[in-house]
Chains A and B, each alone.
Chain A
């Protein structure tokens, strides 16, 4: 029962626990579901994955908990079972034995009492018989008395020997009664006898009756009747030990104190047993009666009755019960109580005479309840041998053991019942069991709880990990999304740049057209050229927008091509100087002479780096200067360091030491890589950067001062790109400390150097020609740098920063030499500084000095008309010195015209950097040489010999536009003409290979030139072409000198070689329009073209060259080709093609498939025909696809003339070489 209860409790606890768990866990599930609803679409996969894993974790956790609970429950139950059940069983058996034993003792006592009573009775009977027989005939009164005395003595002896006897009675047939009675309550002993006198007569009657004893029943009845009526009884107290009579006999009523057994009680002459009730004692008495026969055994002489009180049994029971608590009682078979262990009365006193009580009526509650229980359980009648053993009976409030034993005595069957409270035997056990149970349950609960907590903690780790994983998944998802969106962004940028490129292309194209216009003035032309340059820069910038994403994703691959670093940087400075002029910022390029001229690397990226840096500097520099310095760090610094130091300006000393720190490191790496370490500095006088931001400015979207964004704009990406690029080129960039305001960015790049052998010879030329250069320039920094550099190269320089200084120097210079100057308004005397004086003196030592005066147009007072007079003043020195006018970009036309009119040929636009100076000086030297040689030699000879090698020196022809003379009279102007002509030819040569435009136009122009050789008008028309051609020449020049040398040669400058002359090109294009356009374009370049309509035909054409003609016949389109393209007939004689132009989207077989087929057929033959894709898709993925299938290059529609040309050239050259 306890176990079921325990299970119940356990079940309830379990249910509670699980419900708790459920309620606690239902919440996260709910939120989870909610989340899932929100993110359903995007993260369905991930969330279901993580949700299922979450559930599985939950289930596993639950299962582990349940298992733990079951295990511990089982353990608990088993423990409890073994401790409780076995104990209980053994205890129960022990208790049964105890109870049996306990009850056995009163029953034995009862048995003893019965036995002793019967023994005494029998002994009394035997003694009585003996006494009566020894007295024989009782004839006399004396005899009779004597016999009675003897009887009394005998009876006393017996009575005294048995203390337990209540009484012994002898009743003679004559009615005489002798009795000993022991009053247990008073502990008195009495002798009770009847009056002797009445029995004398009766003796005869006795005899009579003795004779007539045949019918015992009648005799008996007569006895009793007589006795009760007539006899007088006496009671005499006796000494209980000796039996002496100690008191007077008292007369009492017969049968008053004791019950005298009469004849009625021995009906059949054997001993009879019965339970009697005495009115003197409150306990039942056991009385036995036995007849005493006479000697003849024919008649009953007397009846002996022995009465024993059952009190002692009750006494024993009490004692027993005192020892072991509980209740005992004995009942007769009918249910009358014989003895109990309690003090409850056994007799019912309410009736007269008192009767025995039934057990169920007992005053003791326990006994009564027990008896009632027994009666209930077995009915009213006990079967003779029915025994009841019940362990757990609830009587009243307590539980009891009830055991009944049946004692089958003859004539007096007894039932003993023992009721022992359960507490007595099993109280401790039950208590212990209960305590154990409680302890066990609580212990197991604790263990379960702790286990659960442990499991929770353990699985929490797992579930946390799962959660983290789920989070990771979602974050990955988010990252993927972010990447996708960034992808979209770059896609968008790509699209945008494509969209932007188109108008830019139009702008550039239109500019080209504009430049080719005849009626442009020189200045317009220069402006347009500048616009063209800026547009190119803008286009480049647009392309760079694409690179940003490339750089950021780290997919940028640097080109590795040879390029002229100096020229790139000069171009850059040129470009920025236009911007700077408005800012009154001076842009200065200061490259040391040991810089390698040609380096290998990615020119576009290098330019991008400096463009960004300079742009940045200019943006934040309202006034002052921006200097780009560059120097070469030689792997062995000992040889060059002295030189190097000299070149360095003083303010760089601080950096120098820092630079030395890098030196060792750089040296090691550069030796290993055979790379040159090129150091650069971008120095500006702007607002500067806070030192705390020196590192962070290179981060994305970081600007040193956010407030400037509104002022200057910008994205903050520039420096980030710069740093990425610099790092990519194996360099570093950082902001370094600078004296004075502004920012100094220092970086080094590691670039491969190309062989630099012959570039120094120009400088040598400059050095030994006795040049004296007067630099009258506005910008201090630029001027001083130029001056220093010139001095280092052995050129004598003087500086003037303003008009007055200039005039003073001029006067000093020339008046001292040929003191034939006239005074005018500007001739103001200033005290000449000593330094200048010494310089002038040293100049005078030079033999045949050539004076070159570079005058900044800004020195003139342009705001008023004074500048004209100033010009006039300078004009006086025209013959004495060469004037170079340094123009601004915004110099007005009138000034330029005036200058030209005055005969100043050499103008140069700002900024003035080395290459320009070198070029100018070379021009000057050449001019002088011409002048000198002219006296001796033929003009033409001079021209032929002199100009064949001068092209290498021209760095940027567009900026140095030499004006043509307006009236062709003077000798210098003739030179100009020759100069122009030669330059023109050279340019022509340069362009010839690559530029179709000039190619197209050159013959016409050349013709016109030849026709109108003397017409100045046509000459000016020529000039309009120079910048453009020069520009294109610049492009083509960078493609390598080799090319130039091939076609250089004065033999055929007019016709020029068509760039694609002799190439056989197969064009696969389905759209007739494009087919036609491309055909014409290619033919213009001199290639012969075969056009086919789809990929299949292209493949066939390549595979089977003989079948070409058939295709042509078949193809309607191609018939047109046959009509129009002249080299058709030649095609048949050429067995193969040099190149294939392949449209990507064609019917039947598209370009990709066709290319694959062609490449497949080429396998094993060792042939690789270049295939160029033509596609209208302009995205890079298409390019990748094209290259993947085996194409070599990629052109977008509409076809760009130049791009196509260069692409084809690069491919065919590759294959031929």
Chain B
């Protein structure tokens, strides 16, 4: 594939991610932080985010499966997830987390479970999207191109 075409595709894809609200400004900041010293910074952080999130989601699933749900613990987990997702810029996960926390305060188990599903779904979505994005980047890099600067004109 032509490098230029791939770059365009990458741009379109990134733009769509922003438009659809999967990512937000924070992701841009991450990208800006990436430089010669840390060429893989975004990927590193995002994969950290994946690891962390999967652990938290597992913990959450476990915590909500218990007989007496420890909402404090759940809340702490969700809070953590919210922090990391907002740091990565995974906006939709963050928003789902906010809703989740509200139900946590209400101690509403059913809604919490529903929210957990939603968070999981959002997380999977953003994970897929980001992985696709990174794959595109890898392809571009492999093809000898450079990652274009984000040109966000929406």
* Chain A interfacial positions (CB closer than 8 Å to B): 502, 505-506, 509-510, 513-514, 517, 997, 1000, 1070-1074, 1076-1077, 1080-1081, 1083-1084, 1124, 1126, 1143, 1145, 1147, 1176, 1197-1199, 1201
Q: Which of B82-111 contact A (CB under 8 A)?
A: 82-89
B76, B79, B89, B150: the one contacting A1198 at CB < 8 Å is B89
B33, B41, B51, B76: the one contacting A1072 at CB < 8 Å is B51
Q: Does B67 contact A (CB under 8 A)?
A: no
Q: Does B32 contact A (CB under 8 A)?
A: yes
A514, A517, A1176: the one contacting B86 at CB < 8 Å is A1176
**In the complex the two chains form, is B48's CB within 8 Å of A1126's CB?**
no
Interface size counted on chain B using CB atoms at 8 A: 34
**In the complex the two chains form, is B33's CB within 8 Å of A1073's CB?**
no
Having A513-B152, A1074-B84, A1124-B44, one finds 15 other A-B pairs with CB under 8 Å, namely: A510-B152, A514-B152, A1000-B32, A1071-B52, A1072-B52, A1073-B48, A1073-B49, A1073-B52, A1073-B83, A1074-B83, A1074-B87, A1077-B29, A1077-B87, A1126-B37, A1176-B82
**In the complex the two chains form, is B79's CB within 8 Å of A1199's CB?**
no
Q: Does B2 contact A (CB under 8 A)?
A: no
| Shortest Cβ gap from A488 to chain B (Å) | 16
For B115-150 the 0/1 string (1 means CB < 8 A from A) is 000000000000000000000000000000000011
Chain A residues contacting B5 (CB-CB under 8 Å) are none
A1126 to B35, CA, bound (A): 14
Q: Which of B14-60 contact A (CB under 8 A)?
A: 24-26, 28-30, 32-33, 35, 37-38, 41, 44-45, 48-49, 51-52
**In the complex the two chains form, is A1124's CB within 8 Å of B52's CB?**
no
A369 to B85, CA, bound (A): 122
A211 to B38, CA, bound (A): 192
For B65-77 the 0/1 string (1 means CB < 8 A from A) is 0000000000010
- Contacts A506-B24, A509-B28, A1197-B87 hold; do A1076 and B44 have CB atoms under 8 A apart? yes
A-B contact pairs, 14 of them (CB 8 A): A506-B24, A513-B150, A513-B152, A514-B152, A514-B153, A517-B151, A1070-B80, A1071-B84, A1124-B44, A1145-B83, A1176-B79, A1176-B82, A1198-B25, A1198-B87
| Shortest Cβ gap from A1178 to chain B (Å) | 11
| Shortest Cβ gap from A377 to chain B (Å) | 96
Least CB separation from A1084: chain B residue: B33
A997, A1074, A1197: the one contacting B32 at CB < 8 Å is A997
Least CB separation from A1147: chain B residue: B76
Most chain A Cβ neighbours within 10 Å, of B79, B84, B89: B84
| Shortest Cβ gap from B63 to chain A (Å) | 14
Chain B residues contacting A1124 (CB-CB under 8 Å) are 38, 44
A514 to B28, CA, bound (A): 12
- Contacts A1080-B38, A1124-B38, A1145-B76 hold; do A1071 and B25 have CB atoms under 8 A apart? no
A502, A505, A1071: the one contacting B83 at CB < 8 Å is A1071
A679 to B151, CA, bound (A): 47
A1201 to B150, CA, bound (A): 18
A1198 to B24, CA, bound (A): 11
| Shortest Cβ gap from A233 to chain B (Å) | 143
Chain A residues contacting B83 (CB-CB under 8 Å) are 1071, 1073-1074, 1143, 1145, 1176, 1197
**In the complex the two chains form, is B44's CB within 8 Å of A1198's CB?**
no
A514 to B38, CA, bound (A): 24
| Shortest Cβ gap from B34 to chain A (Å) | 8
Chain A residues contacting B33 (CB-CB under 8 Å) are 1077, 1080-1081, 1084
Chain A residues contacting B88 (CB-CB under 8 Å) are 1073, 1077
A1198 to B83, CA, bound (A): 7
Least CB separation from B56: chain A residue: A1071
B24, B48, B150: the one contacting A1076 at CB < 8 Å is B48
Chain A residues contacting B26 (CB-CB under 8 Å) are 1198
- Contacts A509-B25, A1081-B33 hold; do A1145 and B79 have CB atoms under 8 A apart? yes
Most chain B Cβ neighbours within 10 Å, of A997, A1083, A1176: A1176
Most chain B Cβ neighbours within 10 Å, of A505, A1076, A1145: A1076
A1071 to B52, CA, bound (A): 8
A999 to B25, CA, bound (A): 20
**In the complex the two chains form, is B37's CB within 8 Å of A1076's CB?**
no
Chain B residues contacting A1081 (CB-CB under 8 Å) are 33
Chain A residues contacting B82 (CB-CB under 8 Å) are 1176
**In the complex the two chains form, is A513's CB within 8 Å of B48's CB?**
no
Most chain B Cβ neighbours within 10 Å, of A502, A506, A997: A506
Chain B residues contacting A1080 (CB-CB under 8 Å) are 33, 38, 41, 45
A943 to B60, CA, bound (A): 66
Least CB separation from B46: chain A residue: A1073
Chain A residues contacting B80 (CB-CB under 8 Å) are 1070-1071, 1145
Least CB separation from A1077: chain B residue: B87
B25, B35, B44, B76: the one contacting A1000 at CB < 8 Å is B35
| Shortest Cβ gap from B87 to chain A (Å) | 4
Chain A residues contacting B25 (CB-CB under 8 Å) are 505-506, 509-510, 1198
| Shortest Cβ gap from A956 to chain B (Å) | 26
Chain B residues contacting A1083 (CB-CB under 8 Å) are 37
| Shortest Cβ gap from A225 to chain B (Å) | 142
A1071 to B90, CA, bound (A): 15
Chain A residues contacting B84 (CB-CB under 8 Å) are 1071-1074
**In the complex the two chains form, is A1199's CB within 8 Å of B87's CB?**
yes
| Shortest Cβ gap from A362 to chain B (Å) | 108
Least CB separation from B40: chain A residue: A1124
A1071 to B149, CA, bound (A): 28
Least CB separation from A517: chain B residue: B151
A506 to B25, CA, bound (A): 6
Chain B residues contacting A1071 (CB-CB under 8 Å) are 52, 80, 83-84, 87
Chain B residues contacting A505 (CB-CB under 8 Å) are 25
| Shortest Cβ gap from A1017 to chain B (Å) | 18
Least CB separation from B33: chain A residue: A1080
Chain A residues contacting B48 (CB-CB under 8 Å) are 1072-1073, 1076
Least CB separation from A506: chain B residue: B25
| Shortest Cβ gap from B82 to chain A (Å) | 6
A1143 to B87, CA, bound (A): 13
Least CB separation from A1078: chain B residue: B87
A1045 to B152, CA, bound (A): 37
| Shortest Cβ gap from B33 to chain A (Å) | 5
Chain B residues contacting A510 (CB-CB under 8 Å) are 25, 28, 152
Chain B residues contacting A1077 (CB-CB under 8 Å) are 29-30, 33, 45, 87-88
| Shortest Cβ gap from A432 to chain B (Å) | 86
Least CB separation from B51: chain A residue: A1072
Chain B residues contacting A514 (CB-CB under 8 Å) are 152-153
Chain B residues contacting A1072 (CB-CB under 8 Å) are 48-49, 51-52, 84
Chain B residues contacting A1073 (CB-CB under 8 Å) are 45, 48-49, 52, 83-85, 87-88
Chain A residues contacting B49 (CB-CB under 8 Å) are 1072-1073
A1070 to B84, CA, bound (A): 10
A116 to B32, CA, bound (A): 162
Chain B residues contacting A517 (CB-CB under 8 Å) are 149, 151
A509 to B32, CA, bound (A): 12
A1021 to B25, CA, bound (A): 25
A1080 to B41, CA, bound (A): 8
Least CB separation from B27: chain A residue: A1198
| Shortest Cβ gap from A31 to chain B (Å) | 38
| Shortest Cβ gap from B119 to chain A (Å) | 15
Chain B residues contacting A1199 (CB-CB under 8 Å) are 87
| Shortest Cβ gap from A1192 to chain B (Å) | 21
A657 to B151, CA, bound (A): 59
A506 to B29, CA, bound (A): 11
Chain B residues contacting A1201 (CB-CB under 8 Å) are 29
A505 to B76, CA, bound (A): 27
A514 to B25, CA, bound (A): 13
Least CB separation from A510: chain B residue: B152
Chain A residues contacting B29 (CB-CB under 8 Å) are 509, 1077, 1198, 1201
Chain A residues contacting B32 (CB-CB under 8 Å) are 997, 1000
